[in-house]
Chain A
Amino acid sequence: MTNRLSPFLGTMIIVGFAFLYGPIASVIVYSFNASRLVTVWAGFSTRWYVELLSNDQIRNAALTSFEIALISATGALILGTLAGFVLSRYRRFAGRTIFGGLITGPLVMPEVITGLSLLLLFVALGQAIGWPKERGVLTIAIAHITLGMAYVSVVVEARLSSFDRSLEEAALDLGAKPAKVFAVITLPLIAPALVAGWLLAFTLSLDDLVIASFTSGPSATTLPMVIFSSVRMGVSPQINALATLLLVAVAAAVLIAGRILARTRNSPTT
């Protein structure tokens, strides 16, 4: 095996990357365009970033999005960790296969179906028990939790399945009670997976459009919803600037999550 790429493979890689990232690169480049026309380059400028920051609608949508992302990532972390624990520690119980399938179901479920079914659920609940009175931040957050916890449970289960149980037994043997063992041994050792899971859930919530559109009400508009609706009126260079900022935030979160997971995998405990 040589490490050199054949000319064919090299070309394919360049074409592939261009196909995937060319459009994104053009968004970033045109976000610094001085012209009002999105497709005509008229020199470098940061005016759209300045205008963006003074746009109340977008600022409020950004705040709403972050609020939802914070709530849903935290909720997904708690529920997903519990599910991951059950799946990795209890290898045999009635309905385990179904439970595992249902937990990870949202990973493969079409978002339209998830969004529609949750919308119907919230409407039916509102009529039956009077809650939720209106859809908004809370209903979007609940919807995002169902999606996020699937990711968290997969990450946590993977970490726990490579976890050396004798570490916990050693702590127990040395006089630590089970709750103490969890706090001083298990938790610190799976913490990287928890952080990574939280960041993944946060990112998912931040850029979701479909589920949020189904489950939101008049009081809550998320950032992707604002972008989507304003693009229908024609692309404003402000949206390019916003997309660039969003891209940077998501890329940073994914990069950090990946780094943390990779470090855990390389550590001698696994």
Chain B
Amino acid sequence: MPGPGSRPASEGPIPHLVLANVAKRFPQAASPAVDGVSLELARGEFFALLGPSGCGKTTLLRMLAGFEMPDAGSIRIDGQDMGAVPPYARPVNMMFQSYALFPHMSVADNVGFGLRQAKRPKDEIAARVAAMLDLVKLGALARRKPGQLSGGEKQRVALARALINEPKLLLLDEPLTALDRKLREETRFELVRIQRRVGITFLMVTHDQEEAMSMASRIAVMEKGRIAQIGAPAEVYERPANRFVAGFLGAINLFEARVVAATNDLLTLDSVEIGARLTVTHDRVLPLGTEVALALRPEKLSLARMPDSRWNNSLAGTVRGVAYRGEASDVEIELTCGKIVRATMANIGGARDTLDIGQPIFAGWSGEAGVVLEQ
């Protein structure tokens, strides 16, 4: 497992999976679906391609499986170029969003399909199918047809079927989207556990940032056919590279501002938008006058009736709305300048510290809480 945010630790001289400037444009499409994507994955990694629909993530996945041919660029697995290799000869298997279970075959026959194509002996197939069904806890349902399974069971059959050929790379297309919410949360842990156990490289495509962050060791956020940022979940969430990434990985408050003072690790920003000076730590000295945005996650904002001495920044406003969520509450605050900001308050005090709508309030944060977005 690579450390957070680090480049994948390559095992040996040949990288495991390399995409170099892969591009694809569909006929009659206005813009390319995939526009020059380069990516490197280490063996055994759980990687997520995250992006809104239409960002090219599924096209990229289909090119890895061999269902689409890239217009330009190359895909290499363990040094072998995949350009002319048809889908049935690639060391890659895929778990489909719809699961694509063969309805006329039993669970065991579905799982054993790949081994039968590889012409393995009958008793070997039977043994490996049984072992794989045990891994996904479906041993008792081997004789059932897919039509008799629940959504979660179908998902596990699809996973078992894709894993049984021991591919070098497993592609997962929105693996949890078809499940209901509770099952989805349980299955996240299950998928990660199985991935650790089999040690196969997993490449997952999803539009759900929570799904990507909770399962993957690294995430690539895609926008309009390009990769906007690659990094460990915490890195992408806490240090987004641009406004798109910041906004896609959860709620965020953005303050447009200009740099008015800069030291080694501290910037002072002047925001005309909210009529206030803000200080923020930043690892780069920016020229004075640079237009930037200060991004602040809702949970980094503290709320209090009086400004706190630990805050480096504080803004006055009134409570505009409160959405109680159980473990936390989302609070909308209207600043004196009219701008709306969002804060999330962990529900520590129970029912005692409730906020009233219209009540005056101060929102504050420390210098480390915000992120300066240069683009």
Task: List chain A positions with a Cβ less than 8 A from chain B.
Answer: 164, 166-167, 169-177, 180, 185, 188-189, 267-269
Contact = CB atoms under 8 A, between A and B. Distances in A.
A105 to B, nearest CB: 30
Interface in B88-103: 88-90, 92-94, 96-98, 100, 102-103
A189 to B, nearest CB: 6
Given A169-B100, A189-B103, A175 B165 contact: yes
B181 interface: no
Given A167-B102, A171-B102, 12 more contacts: A167-B103, A170-B102, A172-B86, A173-B90, A173-B92, A174-B162, A174-B165, A176-B88, A176-B117, A188-B104, A267-B147, A268-B147
7 cross-chain pairs, A with B, having the tightest CB-CB distances, nearest first = A175-B117, A170-B100, A174-B114, A166-B100, A269-B103, A268-B147, A172-B87
A170 B96 contact: yes
A267 B103 contact: yes
Contacts of A173: 65-66, 87-88, 90, 92-94, 162
Given A174-B114, A174-B165, A267-B147, A169 B87 contact: yes
B372 to A, nearest CB: 44
A104 to B, nearest CB: 27
Given A174-B114, A268-B146, A268-B147, A164 B165 contact: no
Contacts of B65: 169, 173
A169 B114 contact: no
Contacts of A267: 103, 147
A268 B104 CA distance: 10
A268 B146 CA distance: 8
28 contacts: A164-B100, A166-B97, A166-B98, A169-B65, A169-B67, A169-B87, A169-B94, A170-B96, A170-B100, A170-B102, A171-B102, A172-B67, A172-B86, A173-B87, A173-B93, A174-B88, A174-B162, A174-B165, A175-B88, A175-B89, A175-B117, A175-B165, A176-B88, A180-B117, A185-B102, A189-B104, A268-B103, A269-B103
A175 B118 CA distance: 7
B149 to A, nearest CB: 10
- By secondary structure, the A interface counts as helix
Contact of B113 (A164, A166, A169, A171): A171
Residue with the greatest number of chain B CB neighbours at <10 A, chosen from A166, A167, A174, A177: A174
Contacts of B147: 267-268
B146 A174 contact: no
B161 interface: yes
Residue with the greatest number of chain B CB neighbours at <10 A, chosen from A164, A166, A173, A175: A173
A268 B90 CA distance: 29
A169 B158 CA distance: 13
Nearest to A175: B117
Contacts of A171: 102, 113
Given A169-B67, A268-B103, A164 B87 contact: no
A231 B47 CA distance: 79
A269 B89 CA distance: 26
Contacts of B67: 169, 172
A184 to B, nearest CB: 8
A267 B103 CA distance: 8
A177 to B, nearest CB: 6
Contacts of A188: 104
A188 B94 CA distance: 23
B94 A170 contact: yes
A174 B98 contact: no
A174 B93 contact: yes
B87 A166 contact: no
A172 B88 contact: yes
Contacts of B86: 172
A118 B249 CA distance: 68
